[in-house]
Chain A
Amino acid sequence: MTTLGLLAGPPYSAGPESYRDHVARLGARPAGNRALIDTLDRSGLVGRGGASFPVGIKWKSVQSRSRGDAVVIANGAEGEPLSRKDQTLMALRPHLVIDGALLAADAVRANRILLYVGEAHASSLAAMSRALAERPAADVRRLVLLPAPASYVAGEATAAVHFVNAGIATPTATPPRPYESGVDGKPTLVQNVESLAHAALIARNGDGWFRSLGRNEAAGTVLLTVSGAVAKPGVVEVPCGSTIDEVLALAGGVRGTARAVLLGGYFGGWISARQAGTILLDPKALPAAGGSLGCGIVSVLDEAADPLEVSARIMQHLANESAAQCGPCFFGLKSLSTATSRLAARRPDDGDLPHLHRWTAMVKGRGACRHPDGAVAFLQSALKVFESEFAAASGTRGRKAS
């Protein structure tokens, strides 16, 4: 695998890297300042939490509002069921994440850092808390480890802020956005842990180094969680701009025949296997191609599996994870999920399939957060990629609608 990047250094089997080893391998943490923000800008690093927002711009928007009282939330909640990359990173390179968080705090002039780590991710929590104990007292004073509730939306930026402020991990209406008014009303940087770890390496090696890691005009590397019908599922680090075929080869190749690939996660989308192979995994270019790298999920569906059943299960999960704050999200996702499940069971009500098409348009953009939009985008990709399966299921004679 890669020799440069986040997972360079000791192998997986060595467990979490100690502070001494970390400093010996990479050197002391450089300065976090305005120049670092410019370096990040030039590096082309975009957020790895799902939205692919440019990291430099985000830091700048907090830095310009901070009066030395900003807050950094290192987001390792990782509520996406298919994702393992944040857990793996924190369990193996906790000090890289903490370095990134400290650099961010210095650069945006923050005096508090919250390490927001999914409570279900035991090995990550253990590694992070051990890592804190190894750190110099000056670092530890600013750092707090905060277990995040295990739920899909807990990692959403406003939900993380709401959790810190009120102990309730539900998204809140925007504006104000966290960079305007977050923890205790202070400008708050909510940044995914992988993005922070990249920043820690860019601070040491420069923006040119980071760009040179990428391929096909993309910058840097990215952590991916490969799952489904592959020989060796797990987390891999690849240069941005690699093809899906290359990623699947790293994961030992496809077991059986691939039917489709889920890219990005539950809020990502299906791509048919015929088109997937040559797609470039570039977080910046993918949105233009109608896709999204999301939080780095590559999950293979083989021909033996039922795509409708898998899609229905994902829709059901997303519907259950609605925080029940906005009607269109709560009721809309429930209706979409129920209709999809009936189609997957090949016992549809009259009009289920046309309803899916109509309702997806009605739910989009009507939540306080993007949860319904993500679910709808996923379902729309399923309707497109598995069009013939849905049509066949819809044609099945089912019970009459009452």
Chain B
Amino acid sequence: MNNTILWYTTRGAGTVSLVLLSTVVVLGVLSSLRFESSSWPRFLTTGLHRNVALTTLVFLALHIVTAVVDPFTHLGWLAALVPFSSYYRTFWLGLGVIAFELLIAISVTSLARGLIGHSAWRAIHWLTYASWPVAVLHGFGTGTDTWSAWMLAIDLVCILAVAVAVSARLIARPPDPLAADRARFRERVTRKVTR
């Protein structure tokens, strides 16, 4: 295969992954905020969150595989799996490996949520807040296109979107539409238990 095509694919897929991952984070925050409107039902948020997340993994795989097989880089598979083992941009590339492996953990536990239980899933899902910034730093540090105007614009939009979503999450207590009904039901089935 043409080396140039591989190299362009690595860069393109990396950029697309960043955009998709940021979208996933924003959608995740929106779903925990229980965002909805008349034209945007809540299941749309969770459905998109899940599907865009899986799509992100596809582009990440493309990003990594094309980088590794590119004969020009001589990265090798080890560099893609073990953080900071790459001779090339050791630190910045290592960040990418960490972000990717965190995402794998988050995805696998999400798919196996029924097996591991809600609380374990939730604890691991918090790692998203580690994975995303590390991925952004990886892009800044090692990106070939970092200082081009269009890439800066993409970075800026992604960071702003996530920042706004996370701030909204920090400020607003998500409304619980079931709180009143749940309280009413609980009252019905609550007793003082002596055993």
Residues of A within 8 A of B (CB): 112, 114, 144, 146-147, 149, 151, 154, 159, 163-164, 167-170, 173-176, 322-325, 327, 330, 362, 368
Contacts and interface: CB of A to CB of B under 8 A. Distances in A.
A324 B184 contact: yes
B195 interface: yes
Instruction: Determine chain B's interface SS by DSSP, over half rule.
Output: helix
B156 interface: no
B117 A167 contact: no
25 contacts: A114-B195, A144-B195, A149-B188, A151-B189, A167-B190, A167-B191, A168-B186, A168-B189, A169-B190, A170-B186, A170-B189, A173-B118, A173-B119, A175-B115, A322-B185, A323-B186, A323-B189, A324-B181, A324-B184, A325-B178, A325-B182, A327-B42, A327-B177, A330-B181, A362-B43
B164 interface: no
Contacts of B178: 324-325, 327, 330
Interface of B: 42-43, 115-119, 177-178, 181-182, 184-186, 188-193, 195
Contacts of B186: 168, 170, 323
Nearest to A180: B117
A39 B193 CA distance: 35
Contacts of A325: 178, 182
Nearest to B186: A168
A174 B121 CA distance: 12
Contacts of A330: 178, 181
Contacts of A174: 117
B177 A163 contact: no
Q: Which 3 A-B pairs have the closest CB atoms?
A: A324-B181, A169-B189, A324-B182
B186 to A, nearest CB: 6
A154 B188 CA distance: 11
Given A175-B115, A175-B117, A176-B117, A167 B181 contact: no
Contacts of B193: 146, 163-164, 167
Nearest to B188: A151
B185 A170 contact: yes
Given A146-B193, A168-B189, A169-B191, 12 more contacts: A144-B195, A147-B191, A149-B190, A164-B193, A168-B190, A170-B186, A173-B118, A174-B117, A175-B115, A323-B182, A324-B181, A330-B181
Contacts of B185: 170, 322-324
A169 B119 CA distance: 20
A154 B189 contact: yes
A173 B117 contact: yes
A324 B176 CA distance: 11
Given A173-B118, A175-B117, A325-B178, A149 B195 contact: no
Contacts of B195: 112, 114, 144, 146, 164
Nearest to A154: B189
A169 B185 CA distance: 10
